[in-house]
Amino acid sequence: MDGKTYDALKADYYPNISFKLERINKIGKSGDGYDVSASGYLFIAGTTNKTDMYVRAKVGADGGVTFTGSKKLKMTDYKIKPPTALMGTLTTGDDIEIVFTITLK
């Protein structure tokens, strides 16, 4: 199903999923890091939707900042038809979750 999923995501044309930050809504200290609420635009397979993101930020010893988080969404919200195999007898659901870790230095 990996190949079918890559085809559904139009990965040959849009190899990256990206988020363009519009604004930070809230930052709060939590333990050894920060909880961040942000708004922006999520780009997947040629479609852009405005969305909110909630991430965890942690400053490393080298001064870099690592953001971790996840976002649950529906493929059809991004005009992606959930992949099928074996002439439609094997299908995936519409709900997916994107999990990410990004380090900025």
pLDDT tens string, the chain, 105 residues long: the values are 467 777 777 888 988 889 999 999 999 999 999 999 999 999 998 999 999 999 999 999 999 999 999 999 988 888 888 776 665 556 677 888 889 999 999
CB-based contact 38:25 (threshold 8 Å):
yes
Provide the whole-model pTM: 0.79
Domain 2-104, CATH: 2.40.128.110
CA neighbours closer than 13 Å in the CB half-sphere of residue 16: 3
